[in-house]
């Protein structure tokens, strides 16, 4: 029996994780559930999954959560605040941590799980983008296992021999990350000038949280994933290629030196990657319908348009700059996406904000977490200034 902490239980990945867990009550138990502010949703999840501990990140809502759980007849521990998230990720209540908080807010709990030697199911890509080498060091020190949940990285993990890092050692030439192209694939900059948050969040193939949906529309999501792949698989930027594949049936590919290309396919439903990561090295049923290739659309591939979707080029630029440039990129992007979702920034200006902040804060070596968090804060402040000047 594995005891699973689902950090970000009220989100899209959190919900898919709980769906898979509920299909295998003899193998998995959700012992910790966390949410940011949505008390009612968290209470509902606690009624269904009966965890040992429920955490609301916003401390002002702890008593509301306690009352809600009592009224629903759920007896479990209640806690709140970022420190409680960190404590739970490292606690004996779980052996497995699903890191499914969105954004930099997930960094410290992800690191805590790594240091504590947990089996870490990583969805929170921003934490590895921000702190790649430090997160991997923490994993090594803790002695746990990191299994990628992001569908592309999960696909690569499945297509690499034994999931071991080190490309040349395994005869790997390239990692090919597939991208759907998002809802705005094929549009021009003129078309994109006035797109709305709701249009950006209408992803053609995946149902996801709003931040990652906007990132998919700008292609920043693919940029973050390139950086994630670089860290997870020790792949240099030159060995990572992005290929737009609008059907989202191939989730990524590994090309070997002998010309073999291995791909992982499946319907676009995150429960496949989550079930794989939960059960690895075994396999469990996920609830995802089987892929019907005879009835599926023809598979298409095209190069990404990095002139229109500049965020992908900016992410490659940050990866090549090294040091904390990816952390600066990710922080600036979070601020810009929030402003876009709030209706105060134009879609195309997201890339402008990120570019300006990257230029303002040239890359520095990543030394430790406190320094990294300071730089994250500086990048957020710089992005805030750019936004104010733009308005
Ligand atoms: P979401 O917005 O649906 O859910 C985010 C979760 O994080 C919620 O439970 C929310 O309560 C919690 N949260 C938000 N801010 C918080 C804070 N400050 N403190 C504590 N908790 C906070 O997002 P999602 O789509 O589930 O994505 C989660 C992560 O997984 C992201 O990093 C995303 O990039 C990654 N991911 C998502 C998908 C997907 O299909 N949704 C696929 C691959 C990777
Ligand atoms: Mg992905």
Say yes or no to pLDDT of 165 above 80.
Answer: no
Distance CA 77, CA 74 (A): 10
Atom 21 of ligand 1: nearest residue by CA position: 36
Structure token digits, residue 257? 């030196």
CA 285/CA 269 separation, integer angstroms: 13
Tokens 């040992």 belong to residue: 52
CA of 170 to the centre of ligand 1 (A): 33
For the whole model, what pTM was predicted? 0.98
Q: Please, where are the H alpha helices in 181-324?
A: 189-192, 197-200, 210-218, 220-232, 271-279, 310-321
Which residue is closest in CA terms to ligand 1's atom 2?
209
Mean pLDDT of 174-189: 97
337 in Cβ contact with 350 (< 8 Å): yes
pLDDT single digits (tens) 242-278: 999 999 999 999 999 999 999 999 999 999 999 999 9
**Predicted confidence (pLDDT) at residue 72 exceeds the cutoff of 70:** yes
Report how far ligand 1's centroid is from the alpha carbon of 338 (Å): 14
Q: Of all atoms in ligand 1, which is nearest to the CA of residue 103?
A: 32
What pLDDT is stored for residue 125 in this prediction?
Answer: 98
pLDDT tens-digit map of 334-366: 999 999 999 999 999 999 999 999 999 999 999
As to burial, measured by CB atoms within 10 angstroms (0-12 exposed, 13-18 middle, 19+ buried), residue 259 is exposed
Reading phi first (left if > 0) and then psi (alpha if -120 to 50, else beta), residue 33 is in beta
The predicted model gives 60-84 an average pLDDT of 98
Range of weakest confidence among 28-32, 166-170, 287-291, 327-331:
166-170
What's the pLDDT score for residue 111? 98
Helix (H, G, I), strand (E, B) or coil at 343: coil
Pocket test for ligand 1, best of 102, 124, 208 (most atoms within 8 A of CB): 102
- Do 46 and 72 contact (CB within 8 A), yes or no? yes
Please report the pLDDT score of residue 206 as a whole number. Answer: 80
Residue 168: the pLDDT is 84
The DSSP string of 230-251 is HHHTT--GGGEEEEE-TT--EE
Please give the number of the atom of ligand 1 that sits closest to the Cα of 211.
2
Residue 162, pLDDT > 80, answer: no
- pLDDT of 163 over the 70 cut: no
Q: Is the pLDDT of residue 320 over 70?
A: yes
**Mean pLDDT, to the nearest integer, of 290-300?**
94
Query: Can you give the pLDDT at residue 164?
Result: 59
Q: For position 391, what pLDDT does the model report?
A: 65
Q: Which ligand is nearest to the CA of 179?
A: 2
The pLDDT assigned to 204 comes to: 84
Q: Read off the pLDDT of residues 270-293 as tens digits, 9 standing for 90 and up.
A: 999 999 999 999 999 999 999 999
For residue 90, the CA-to-ligand 2 centroid distance in Å is 26
Index of the ligand 1 atom closest to the CA of residue 8: 9
The predicted pLDDT at position 166 comes to 76
- Give 10 Cα–ligand 1 centroid separation in angstroms: 8
Least trusted range by pLDDT, from 147-151, 203-207, 227-231, 251-255: 203-207
Task: Kindly state the percentage of the chain with pLDDT values over 70.
Answer: 99
Q: Does the pLDDT value for residue 137 go beyond 90?
A: yes
| Rounded-to-10 torsion of CA 263, 159, 25, 287 | 0
């Amino acid at each position: 029996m594995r005891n699973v902490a689902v950090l970000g239980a009220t989100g899209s990945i959190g919900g898919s994780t709980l769906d898979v867990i509920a299909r295998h009550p003899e193998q998995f138990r959700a012992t910790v559930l966390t949410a940011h502010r949505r008390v009612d949703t968290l209470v509902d999840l606690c009624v269904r999954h009966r965890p040992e501990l429920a955490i609301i990140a916003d401390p002002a809502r702890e008593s509301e959560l306690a009352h809600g759980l009592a009224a629903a007849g759920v007896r479990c521990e209640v806690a709140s605040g970022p420190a409680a998230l960190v404590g739970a990720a490292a606690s004996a209540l779980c052996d497995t941590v699903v890191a499914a908080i969105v954004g930099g807010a997930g960094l410290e709990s992800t690191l805590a799980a790594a240091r504590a030697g947990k089996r870490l199911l990583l969805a929170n890509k921003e934490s590895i983008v921000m702190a790649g080498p430090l997160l991997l060091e923490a994993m090594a020190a803790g002695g746990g296992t990191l299994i990628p949940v992001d569908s592309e990285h999960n696909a690569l993990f499945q297509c690499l021999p034994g999931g071991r890092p080190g490309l040349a050692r395994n005869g790997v030439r390239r990692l090919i990350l597939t991208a759907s192209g998002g809802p705005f694939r094929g549009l021009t900059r003129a078309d994109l000038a006035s797109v709305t948050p709701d249009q950006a969040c209408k992803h053609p193939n995946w149902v996801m949280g709003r931040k990652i949906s906007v990132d998919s529309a700008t292609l920043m999501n693919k940029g973050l994933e390139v950086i994630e792949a670089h860290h997870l698989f020790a792949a240099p930027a030159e060995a990572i290629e992005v290929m737009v594949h609008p059907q989202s049936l191939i989730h990524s590919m590994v090309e070997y030196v002998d010309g073999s290309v291995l791909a992982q396919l499946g319907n676009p439903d995150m429960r496949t990657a989550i079930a794989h990561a939960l059960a690895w090295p075994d396999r469990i049923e996920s609830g995802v319908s089987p892929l019907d290739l005879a009835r599926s659309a023809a598979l298409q591939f095209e190069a990404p348009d990095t002139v229109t979707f500049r965020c992908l080029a900016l992410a490659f630029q940050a990866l090549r700059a090294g040091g904390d440039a990816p952390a600066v990129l990710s922080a600036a992007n979070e601020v810009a996406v929030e402003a876009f979702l709030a209706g105060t920034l134009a879609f195309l200006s997201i890339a402008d904000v990120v570019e300006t902040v990257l230029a303002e804060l040239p890359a520095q070596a990543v030394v430790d977490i406190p320094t990294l968090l300071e730089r994250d804060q500086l990048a957020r402040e710089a992005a805030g200034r750019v936004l104010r000047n733009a308005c």
